[in-house]
Chain A
Amino acid sequence: MSRFKDLQKNLFGGTTSNARQFGMIFTLVAIVALFQILTDGLTLRSDNLIALFQQNSYILILAIGMLMVIVAGHIDLSVGSIAAFAGILVAKSMAEWNFPWPLAILFGLAIGAVIGAWQGFWVAYVGVPAFIVTLAGMLIFRGGNQLIGNASTIPVPEGFRVIGAGFLSEIGPDTTYNNLTLLLGIAGCVAVVWREVQSRRTRRAMDATVAPLWISILRMAVMVGIILFVAMRFASGRVGTSFPISGLILVALIIIYSFYTRNTAGGRHIYAVGGNSRAAELSGVKLRRVNFYVMMNMSVLAALAGMIFVARSAASGPQDGNGWELDAIAAVFIGGAAVSGGIGTISGSIVGGLVMAVLNNGLQLLGVGTDRVQIIKGLVLLLAVALDVYNKSQGRFSVIGSITRPFRREAPAKPATSSDADREPATTTVSG
């Protein structure tokens, strides 16, 4: 039994973000497995996986920016409109002003930056709540898109479409697999192992208790297994398809932003501002600057997402990006971010977004109509957050605790760690 407890504590109950992430991934795997069974194996087929990634990469890119916005204590409702606005301008720049496509991409990012500076100015320097600023932005830039595009679609050239519809190319020996995708998978595995080793080394340097080696190995084995499995699937698709370029952009952004939010002073300032802005200010954090850049960054990512979408659908239209803001916000909250700010992780938001995406995709494969899919997605969002709120009020965190609870044979409510148990009386001492 003690081994089981060890496992439970290290995988699900620990306080390190590693354990949290692992728990989230576990949820995702469970949902994927469920749909894999329900759809008779359609879910994990190469073409479906590829489509799933392509269709959702732009939402996940938005979720990255949205996570930082929400952690800082704001919200951004304008991302869909900004994506559409940037998309139409970029399409127009290529179709009418003859911008070469690489320049058009830079142009699109610049548009995002300018819009972001505009919104950041109102939020950070004037002090208008982000909800209002971005609600206004949602209207302004949706209207802007339709004004510029005359409410019609503008096609984009072939070269540009790579960022939305392109794949890793076929090079090297014929292995019946896509070699670059395989290489990417192997690189991913190496990264997982390297990170685990690093984290063990760090914990040892801190004289903290290091999880038993077999748990580390199990953890790595599961992660490596998932990565290799997914890589093989992507690599073995129809000839000409493989890991999508948009997915590659997404993975790069996830790595960069995860590192930024976890390991840099700038990232920590975002959490400080969201956790207690006055305390952050009195600790020397430049509040306005943080708020400004968080909002600005969101708009740049929104412009990027808009361009990827336009590239995939080969044209920019007036309805692009409708409702994206809500998908992105839902992903962040399912991924464990706090509505009041200060809490949340990039990886959590990505998994949250993938949960929604798999759900969407699986239900469609099952032939469920969009009406019902919407209802189910709404309920999932509500339940996921409600479960998290409930678990927090019970002194343990996250969805995972409650998933594993039915498996426990022992008497109920033995807290996993002593620190959890101290919470109740400790808070009462504050007033006593």
Chain B
Amino acid sequence: MSDAPILLEMRSITKEFPGVKALSDVNLVVRAGEIHAICGENGAGKSTLMKVLSGVYPFGTYEGDIVYQGAETRFHDIRGSEHAGIVIIHQELALIPGMSITENIFLGNEPRKRGAIDWQSANRMALDLMARVGLQEDPDTLIKDIGVGKQQLVEIAKAFAKDVKLLILDEPTAALNEADSQHLLDLLRGFRERGITSIMISHKLNEIEAIADEITILRDGRTVETLNIKADGVDEDRIVRGMVGRELSSRFPDHTPNIGEVFFEVRDWNVRHPISADRQVCKNENFVVRRGEIVGFAGLMGAGRTELAMSVFGRSYGLWESGTIIKDGKEIVLKSVADAIAHGLAYVSEDRKAIGLNLLDDIKTSTVAAKLSKITRHGVIDEVAEYKAAEGYRRELRTKAPTVDEGVSKLSGGNQQKVVLAKWMFTDPDLLILDEPTRGIDVGAKYEIYGIIQRLADQGKGVIVISSELPELIGLCDRIYTVFEGSITGDIPRQDADPETLMKQMTSTKKMQTR
């Protein structure tokens, strides 16, 4: 592969924002027909580099040269780069939910006949493009009615409609389940065979190892190295070393659990879908949590793990039907989030930006938001107490921010997650439910978050971790429940947990016999 012609070369790219050098002297060489991975921690400059390439930051706002197909190129906007066949698919998909697949594929690029959109040929071409990405759907289906995996395919089909030569994917599998991820990776392999070049930004190192030909590692806005996966014998640990600049001896901190008695129990839990009430989202689910125990919930997307957690957390999801919650031997009824918080439950949501944080707030305000009563007297907020609480957590969790007056929107994903954790630790919970606690977070920050979770368990709290990454659950949890289509299908102790066993239980309705 390394003797293939060079398609793209970015030479000593430097990009400065007021006061901060986001990229300094970055070099990237991508050969035609390869899959080139770009790795780096959050803030390393991956996205900025891709924005320079795709013209989001137009020529003149950066230093350095872009040589594409053998000629120096200057893009003044995204249209310029798309015209040259460079298409970027962002992590947050740019699709209009209320429009059909066809309409989305040709949005901004509509085939016209005498000024009007030619829907007939658009539909025909859409079907053709959909076939190329392996998407079987009626092209008139609305985007909001298909899953996120298929939406990703629509994005790629959209790229093909623009006659793509270089496809850039930013965290393409971040929101996908295992099956959809696998499909996408197969698709990329197929593209490679047909000579399409791809650049892939990803945190999922196993995927990179499996699919990429070459990998460029960025750290703090500089190129660290470019490795050839096969020739250099690159594995995950090697990538991690490049990214963090040090050896991470293990991806999980050492931990000896100290597990006590069962203190939290959910029995015969039934919940229906909030809109279509005939759909049962939780079917007679039972689970227990012990003090000091980290309990995992494994399942495919749509299995109903988040729904279970949220319905337990003060019925914040769905129509509650029946079921009991027993805490410390007494039955408790949680009709609202306020009830749940008062009874020592905390729920760290899956989507921190959409429902976990108020992005207009600063660290201080966010930290105390879920339990204002702790810092108020007669309804009046004690600003000094607020500051001290927030500052305490900032130090304890080592949140990277100059002061707690910093706006949370300015923080990186890992630091935002620490603020959310601080917010819920501040409520003094007995049971923390963490939904995808490390999604979109870089390797170094993940390690720290795992450490925090273990410390919380060591304080005698129960911790529930919902995660789509099986290695994370296996590495972190003392016990793992598997969930399939709203039912708990397995209860697997740590020593028996391996990806195969879990995957089998996550995809089968048959309940496994537990010990």
- Is A415 touching B19 in the complex (CB atoms < 8 A)? yes
Asked whether any CB of chain A lies closer than 8 Å to the CB of B181, the reply is no
Q: Which of A272, A413, A420 contacts B369 (CB 8 A)?
A: A272
Q: Are A278 and B47 CB-contacts (below 8 A) given A286-B338, A421-B19, A432-B42? A: no
Tell me the bound Cα distance from A266 to B314 in angstroms.
Answer: 21
Asked whether any CB of chain B lies closer than 8 Å to the CB of A208, the reply is yes
Asked whether any CB of chain B lies closer than 8 Å to the CB of A175, the reply is no
Asked whether any CB of chain B lies closer than 8 Å to the CB of A275, the reply is yes
Chain A residues in 8 Å Cβ range of B440: 430
Q: Which of A268, A413, A430 contacts B365 (CB 8 A)?
A: A268
- Is B372 touching A265 in the complex (CB atoms < 8 A)? yes
- Is B201 touching A432 in the complex (CB atoms < 8 A)? yes
Tell me the bound Cα distance from A77 to B13 in angstroms.
Answer: 52
Asked whether any CB of chain A lies closer than 8 Å to the CB of B145, the reply is no
Size class of the B contact interface (CB-based, 8 Å): 35 or more
- Is B91 touching A431 in the complex (CB atoms < 8 A)? yes
Q: Which of B354, B365, B370, B406 contacts A278 (CB 8 A)?
A: B354
Q: How far is the CB of A365 from chain B (nearest CB, A)?
A: 40
Tell me the bound Cα distance from A416 to B200 in angstroms.
Answer: 37
- Is A280 touching B46 in the complex (CB atoms < 8 A)? no
Interface string of A170-184 (1 = CB under 8 A from B): 000000000000000
Asked whether any CB of chain A lies closer than 8 Å to the CB of B347, the reply is yes
- Is B359 touching A205 in the complex (CB atoms < 8 A)? no
- Is B18 touching A276 in the complex (CB atoms < 8 A)? no
- Is A284 touching B338 in the complex (CB atoms < 8 A)? yes
Asked whether any CB of chain A lies closer than 8 Å to the CB of B275, the reply is no
Chain A residues in 8 Å Cβ range of B403: 208
Q: How far is the CB of A207 from chain B (nearest CB, A)?
A: 8
Asked whether any CB of chain A lies closer than 8 Å to the CB of B423, the reply is yes
**Chain B contact surface mostly:** mixed
- Is A419 touching B410 in the complex (CB atoms < 8 A)? yes
Interface string of A121-163 (1 = CB under 8 A from B): 0000000000000000000000000000000000000000000
Asked whether any CB of chain B lies closer than 8 Å to the CB of A238, the reply is no
Interface string of A398-432 (1 = CB under 8 A from B): 00000000000000010100111111111111111
Tell me the bound Cα distance from A109 to B24 in angstroms.
Answer: 64
Asked whether any CB of chain B lies closer than 8 Å to the CB of A166, the reply is no
- Is B384 touching A418 in the complex (CB atoms < 8 A)? no
Asked whether any CB of chain B lies closer than 8 Å to the CB of A21, the reply is no
Tell me the bound Cα distance from A275 to B90 in angstroms.
Answer: 25
Interface string of A282-320 (1 = CB under 8 A from B): 111010000000000000000000000000000000000
Pick the most buried of A271, A272, A338: most chain B CB atoms within 10 A of its CB.
Answer: A272
Asked whether any CB of chain B lies closer than 8 Å to the CB of A393, the reply is no
Q: Which of B361, B373, B379 contacts A275 (CB 8 A)?
A: B361
Asked whether any CB of chain A lies closer than 8 Å to the CB of B111, the reply is no
Task: Identify 6 residue pairs between A and B in the complex whose beta-carbon atoms are under 8 Å apart, listed by A's number.
Answer: A268-B369, A282-B313, A342-B360, A419-B406, A430-B353, A431-B47
Give me 15 other A-B pairs in contact (C-beta within 8 A), A283-B423, A284-B371 excluded.
A206-B384, A263-B383, A264-B379, A265-B379, A275-B360, A284-B337, A286-B336, A418-B402, A422-B410, A427-B410, A430-B42, A431-B90, A432-B40, A432-B47, A432-B201
Interface residues of chain A, those whose CB is within 8 Å of chain B, are 15, 202, 205-208, 263-266, 268, 271-272, 275-276, 278-284, 286, 338, 342-343, 395, 413, 415, 418-432
Q: Rank and list the top 9 A-B pairs by shortest CB-CB distance, nearest first.
A: A421-B19, A432-B47, A275-B358, A429-B43, A424-B17, A206-B387, A283-B370, A265-B372, A275-B360
